[in-house]
Structure 1
Amino acid sequence: MTVLYWLLVAVMVLGVIGAVVPAIPGTSLIVAAIVIWGVIHGFGTVTVPLVVAIGVLVVSMGVDFLASFWGAQRFGASKWGQIGAVVGLLLGFFGLLPALPFGGPLLGILIGPLLGAIVGELIYRRDFVVAVKAGIGIVVGSLIGNLIQGLLALGAVIVFLVTTWPLGAVT
């Protein structure tokens, strides 16, 4: 059981990384690992961590939306900039941006929303300075949201470790 326990903890650590880095599943990996542990050892052993992880999953979705919205509002982005950021994120995610000599899809996911927001704002306002400012605002908000999600995910993993340590680490 010790090997399984540490394997599930490794999956949870990947989930924490995924909460911060776009395109990697985040909190859902943590929930899945806790469910697997619950199936094997009974859900009575993971009730608290499972409730915490599901709560973190729900709150993370809200944080992601609110942080991006806050960044957009704070830096003066319009709906066109927000739509452009989403389109840019999708294009970057699927690798449809012009090829970059370094960074690969991860860089595309980071640059895509910025470029998309700038293009959206340029279509709407035709003012390059305002467009760049709005694009940066959306990206800053998104990055802040990702950091908050990472901290929440880390908290869920810590709750799991604290509540299951005697059962998982030494058997």
Structure 2
Amino acid sequence: MLILYWILVLVMLVGIIGAVVPAVPGSSLILGAILVWGIVNGFSELGWAVGAAIAVLLLSVGVDLLSAYLGAQQAGASRWGQIGAIIGFVFGFFGFLPALPFGGPLLGILIGPLLGAMIGEFLYRKDLEFEARIKLAFRAAIGIVVGTFVGNLIQGLLALACVVVFLVTTWPL
């Protein structure tokens, strides 16, 4: 039983990393590990841990959307820039960025939203001169990426809090 406990704690640590790093499962790994422990050991001692994990999972989704939106809004991005960032994320994740022969999906996830947001903003701002469009597109893209990065850091803190709650409620074994 002790070996399973520490394996699940390691899975949760990967979940904390995944809450911060795109393309790695985060809060769902933590919730899954807590549920496995509950199934094996009984849910009586896990009331707070399961509640915290579910709350973190729901908050993570909200933080993700809100942080990217606020970053975009702060930088003056349009919906085109936001949609471009999402499309860039998908293209980057699945490796459809031909200019990236190295780095795999992780690098694509970092560069894809930036390029997508820039392209979306550039296409939206047709009324401006070329240099002004480039400058505005770059500023909007940086805003979206910074917002997403801040959101990922908040998700990491939420995930860490969830794991701490699990450890506190189950430590005496």
Alignment of structure 1 residues 109-120 onto 2, 5 Å: 109-120=109-120
Match of 1:154 among 148, 157, 160: 160
**1:19-168 equivalent positions in 2, closer than 5 A:** 19-126=19-126, 127-167=133-173
Displacement after TM superposition at 1:166 (Å): 0.6
| Distance (whole Å) between structure 2 residues aligned to residue 102 and residue 70 of structure 1 | 31
**Residue identity opposite 2:156 in structure 1:** G
Give the share of equivalent positions with the same residue, in percent: 63
Give the 4+ runs in structure 1 shifted more than 4 A.
none
Report SS of the residue matched to 1:100: coil
Separation in structure 2 between the aligned mates of residue 125 and residue 108 of structure 1, nearest angstrom: 25
Structure 1 stretches of 5 or more lacking a match? none
Alignment partners' CA distance in 1, 2:36 and 2:168: 17
Distance in 2, Cα, partners of 1:38 & 1:2: 14
1:2 aligned partner: 2
Query: Aligned AA for 1:69?
Result: Y
Q: Deviation digits for residues 31-69 of structure 1, max 9, x if unmatched?
A: 000000001111011111000010010011100000000
TM-score by length of 1: 0.95
Query: Once the 2 structures are TM-superposed, how far is the Cα of residue 114 of structure 1 from its aligned partner?
Result: 0.3
Inter-partner Cα distance in structure 1 for 2:153 and 2:43: 30
User: Within 1, Cα distance between the matches of 2:103 and 2:16?
Assistant: 21
Counterpart Cα distance in 2 of 1:59 and 1:107: 26
Could you tell me which amino acid in structure 2 is paired with residue 82 of structure 1?
Q
- Cα deviation code 1:71-107 (max 9, x no counterpart): 0000000000000000000000001012425422101
Q: Write the letter of the residue equivalent to 1:36.
A: V
Classify the secondary structure of the residue corresponding to 1:43: coil
2:171 is paired with a residue of what secondary structure? helix
What is the number of equivalent residue pairs in this alignment?
Answer: 167
CA distance in 2, matches of 1:146, 1:98: 26
SS in structure 2 of the partner of residue 22 of structure 1: coil
State the distance in 1 between where 2:139 and 2:121 align. Answer: 10
What TM-score, normalized by structure 2, do the two folds share?
A: 0.94
